[in-house]
């Protein structure tokens, strides 16, 4: 009995020691937060490790978790799909900057309507989601699409049931273009939807839209592109109907006045520009302005600086939209302005 126990204890101890030795080495950066940019952060980190030997340990625990972790100082950076307001940033001593752009694309299932054939404007989209526009042949939709052959079919709204950055971008857009939406529902990673059904994840929304005649949903750009869903053209801030393309998402960021937005507190929805897609948003990184460990924060910023310079092709291969050069310059300036000199690469 005793020797067996001793041996077991020995094995257990050995396992613990091996585990400790196998854990992340001290030189690695740690980050936690949003799930939406996780694939691209992982890809950048892999390439960065090959180039510099410094690894990144990123835990995709969700934006709420990322904000909590950076506030608790258990990670070197936090990541959030929803930007913190300047007030929130100041209160916590944090600063933020965007990394990649994600676009949100409305998709529908209407018999006889091909991808890109239908176009909608913001107020109409908001009224559909509010449940006041109930049928596809409603006068408001017909007015925008005089030539389309629209059936008398009930519209079924399909939204993301899981809290997500996609939800935030979409509801933020509806709040900007519809006072009724702003006052009745608002913008957040989860909202109280007045109508429709909730589906889990992009795959759930895409699945429900594909299966249900009359359905209208919204998915991330990558999903719309890879699943060849019937996307809807949006009429943007300048009154032009645009297709959801990588260029259209970049255009939304290009005209944005990042330099005069304190803490990059900008959502790229309803931005000016003839080619700008109106429902876009960036995902953000949070670091301390006066970090306790300046060398660590410098490592983090160096990583993202490297990613801005070398990561565009990788981002595009995963259907993320890289930031335009003008935005990257504004980020660099904000680092020098806001963060302790010792921590800026």
Partner 1 sequence: MVDLALSEEFSAVSSREAALKRFGRSDMRFRLMTLGAALLVVAIFAGLMVSLLRGAWLALHTFGWSFLTTTVWNPVTGKFGAFAAIYGTLISSALAMLLAVPLGVGIAIFLTELCPRALKRPVGIAIELLAGVPSIIYGIWGLFVFAPYFQQHVEPWIIDAFAGIPYLQDLFAGPPYGIGTFTAALILAIMILPFISAVTRDVFETVPPMQKEAAYGVGCTTWEVMWRIVLPFSRAGVVGGSMLALGRALGETMAVTFVIGNAHRINPSLLAPGTTISATIANEFTEALGDTYVSSLVALGLILFGITFIVLAAAQLMLKSLDRRSGGKAP
Match 């006052």 to its residue by tokens: 183
Which residues is 280 bridged to in the sheet? 103
107/307 with CB nearer partner 1: 107
Q: How far is the CB of 156 from partner 1 (least distance, A)?
A: 7
Q: Does 59 bind partner 1 (CB under 8 A)?
A: no
Q: Does 81 bind partner 1 (CB under 8 A)?
A: yes
317: its two tokens: 């291969």
Q: Single out the residue of 63, 172, 236, 327 in contact with partner 1 (rule: CB under 8 A).
A: 63
Alpha carbon distance 45, 55 (integer Å):
6
178/327 with CB nearer partner 1: 178
Q: Which stretch binds partner 1 (CB under 8 A): 108-116, 160-168, 227-235, 240-248?
A: 160-168
Q: Does 37 bind partner 1 (CB under 8 A)?
A: no
Q: Does 154 bind partner 1 (CB under 8 A)?
A: yes
List of residues 6+ apart from 70 with CB closer than 8 A: 32, 33, 77, 78, 94, 286, 287, 288
Q: Does 1 bind partner 1 (CB under 8 A)?
A: yes
230, 300 contact by CB (below 8 A): no
Number of residues that bind partner 1 (CB under 8 A): 37
Q: How far is the CB of 187 from partner 1 (least distance, A)?
A: 7
Q: Single out the residue of 57, 59, 132, 161 in contact with partner 1 (rule: CB under 8 A).
A: 161
296: its two tokens: 């660590």
Residues in the chain, total:
345
105: its two tokens: 């694309």
Q: Which stretch binds partner 1 (CB under 8 A): 98-106, 157-165, 238-246, 262-270?
A: 157-165
Q: Does 322 bind partner 1 (CB under 8 A)?
A: no
Task: Provide the 3-class DSSP secondary structure of residue 286.
Answer: strand
**DSSP string computed for 62-128:** -HHHHHHHHHTT-SSEEEESSPPPHHHHHHHTEEEEEEEEEEEEEEE--TT--TTT-EEEHHHHHHH
- Binding mask 183-222 toward partner 1 (x if CB under 8 A, else -) reads --xxxxxxxxx--xxxxx---x--xx--xx----------
Q: Which stretch binds partner 1 (CB under 8 A): 63-71, 222-230, 290-298, 304-312?
A: 63-71
206/307 with CB nearer partner 1: 206
Q: Does 61 bind partner 1 (CB under 8 A)?
A: yes
**CB atoms near residue 95 (< 10 Å):** 23
Q: Single out the residue of 37, 62, 122, 278 in contact with partner 1 (rule: CB under 8 A).
A: 62
**DSSP string computed for 200-240:** SHHHHHHHHHHHSTTEEEEEEHHHHHHTT-EE-EEE-TTS-
Q: Is 61 left (phi over 0), alpha (psi -120 to 50) or beta?
A: alpha
63/270 with CB nearer partner 1: 63
Q: Single out the residue of 122, 165, 281, 311 in contact with partner 1 (rule: CB under 8 A).
A: 165
62/278 with CB nearer partner 1: 62
119, 238 contact by CB (below 8 A): no
Q: Does 65 bind partner 1 (CB under 8 A)?
A: yes
Residues within the interface to partner 1 (CB under 8 A): 1, 35, 61-65, 67, 81-82, 154, 156, 161-165, 167, 185-193, 196-200, 204, 207-208, 211-212
């Amino acid at each position: 009995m005793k020797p067996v126990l001793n041996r077991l204890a020995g094995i257990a101890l050995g396992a613990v020691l091996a585990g400790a030795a196998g854990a992340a080495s001290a030189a690695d950066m740690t980050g936690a937060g949003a799930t939406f940019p996780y694939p691209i952060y992982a890809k950048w980190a892999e390439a960065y490790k090959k180039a510099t030997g410094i690894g990144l340990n990123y835990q995709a625990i969700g934006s709420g978790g990322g904000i909590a972790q950076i506030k608790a100082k258990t990670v070197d950076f936090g990541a959030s799909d929803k930007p913190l307001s300047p007030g929130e940033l100041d209160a916590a001593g944090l600063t933020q900057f965007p990394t990649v752009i994600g676009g949100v694309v409305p998709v529908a299932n209407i018999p006889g309507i091909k991808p890109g054939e239908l176009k909608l404007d913001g107020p109409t989209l908001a009224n559909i989601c509010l449940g006041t526009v109930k049928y596809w042949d409603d006068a408001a939709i017909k007015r925008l699409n005089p030539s389309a052959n629209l059936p008398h079919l009930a519209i079924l709204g399909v939204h993301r049931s899981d809290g997500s950055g996609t939800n935030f971008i979409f509801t933020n857009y509806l709040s900007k273009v519809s006072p009724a939406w702003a006052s009745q529902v608002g913008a957040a990673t989860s909202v109280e939807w007045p109508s429709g059904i909730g589906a889990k994840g992009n795959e759930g929304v895409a699945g429900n839209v594909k299966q249900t005649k009359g359905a209208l949903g919204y998915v991330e750009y990558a999903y719309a592109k890879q699943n060849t869903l019937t996307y809807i053209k949006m009429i943007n801030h300048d009154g032009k109907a645009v297709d959801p393309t990588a260029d259209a998402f970049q255009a939304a960021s290009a005209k944005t006045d990042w330099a005069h937005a304190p803490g990059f507190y900008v959502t790229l929805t309803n931005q000016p520009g003839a080619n700008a897609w109106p429902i876009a948003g960036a995902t953000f990184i949070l670091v301390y302005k006066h970090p306790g460990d300046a060398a660590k924060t410098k490592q983090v910023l160096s990583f993202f600086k490297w990613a801005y310079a070398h990561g565009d092709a990788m981002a595009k291969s995963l259907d993320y939209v890289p930031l335009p050069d003008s935005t990257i310059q504004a980020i660099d300036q904000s680092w020098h302005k806001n963060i302790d000199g010792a921590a800026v690469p």
